[in-house]
């Protein structure tokens, strides 16, 4: 739920949920309850996507194509929202923690959009598309369990 607070979802604004596992399904439910629309949910696993569609019938599932790179998958996801830049999703909720998915999220959010990474992944990720994030002014936020986090060590 903290990730949803960080995302500041808006009524009638498109959102993508990356990952249809337990965290993604909670994010999907919260996005739906916030009034976000349309909602696209992505995953590699078609069974998880089928469950997500049953769980939230108004969402649109997109199965990540392993043969495409992050930018090409993002282009296909964005096409589900329409052809214009302003119709691209404003917010992407990244719920996998997987580097390739985080990169796809970067390309999926519209210019000036917001990517919220919910949960954790690897300590170091080397392939984030920094120049794209910078030029498109995509904001990245991170959420881990609660707003209070202390790191020891």
Inside any domain, residue 117: yes
Inside any domain, residue 91: yes
Contact in structure between 117 and 92 (CB atoms under 8 Å): no
Inside any domain, residue 150: no
Instruction: Output the CA–CA distances (angstroms, integers) from residue 38 to 32, 41, 75, 91, in the order listed.
Output: 9, 10, 16, 11
Helices (H), 8-128: 22-34, 46-55, 70-79, 99-108
Inside any domain, residue 56: yes
Give the domain CATH number at 34: 3.40.50.720
Tokens (6 digits) for 83: 């052809």
Inside any domain, residue 85: yes
- Based on the structure, what is the number of domains in the chain? 1
pLDDT digits (tens, 9 = 90+) for 50-73: 999 999 999 999 999 999 999 999
pLDDT digits (tens, 9 = 90+) for 108-153: 999 999 998 887 777 777 888 888 888 888 888 777 665 555 555 5
Q: Considering only CA atoms, which of 21, 10, 13 is closest in space to residue 119?
A: 21
Length of the chain: 153
Instruction: Quickly state the pLDDT bin for 7 (edges 50, 70, 90).
Output: low
Inside any domain, residue 96: yes
Give the full edge-to-edge strand order of the sheet including 15-18. Answer: 60-63, 39-43, 15-18, 91-94, 114-118, 139-143
Neighbours of 42 (CB within 10 A): 31
Spatial neighbors of 72 by CB under 8 A, at least 6 apart, are 65
Inside any domain, residue 152: no
Contact in structure between 81 and 113 (CB atoms under 8 Å): no
Inside any domain, residue 68: yes
Please give the residue range of the domain that contains residue 70.
2-129+138-142
């Amino acid at each position: 739920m903290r990730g949803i607070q960080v995302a500041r979802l808006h009524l009638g604004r498109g959102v993508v949920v990356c990952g249809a596992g337990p965290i993604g399904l909670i994010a999907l439910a919260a996005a739906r309850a916030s009034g976000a629309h349309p909602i696209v949910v992505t995953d590699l696993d078609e069974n998880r996507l089928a469950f997500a569609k049953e769980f939230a019938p108004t969402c649109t599932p997109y199965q990540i194509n392993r043969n495409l790179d992050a930018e090409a998958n993002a282009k296909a996801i964005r096409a589900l929202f329409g052809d214009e830049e302003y119709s691209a999703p404003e917010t992407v909720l990244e719920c996998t923690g997987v580097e390739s998915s985080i990169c796809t999220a970067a390309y999926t959010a519209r210019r000036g959009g917001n990517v919220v990474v919910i949960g954790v992944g690897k300590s170091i990720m080397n392939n984030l598309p920094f120049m794209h994030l910078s030029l498109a002014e995509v904001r990245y936020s991170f959420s881990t369990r609660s707003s209070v986090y202390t790191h020891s060590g």
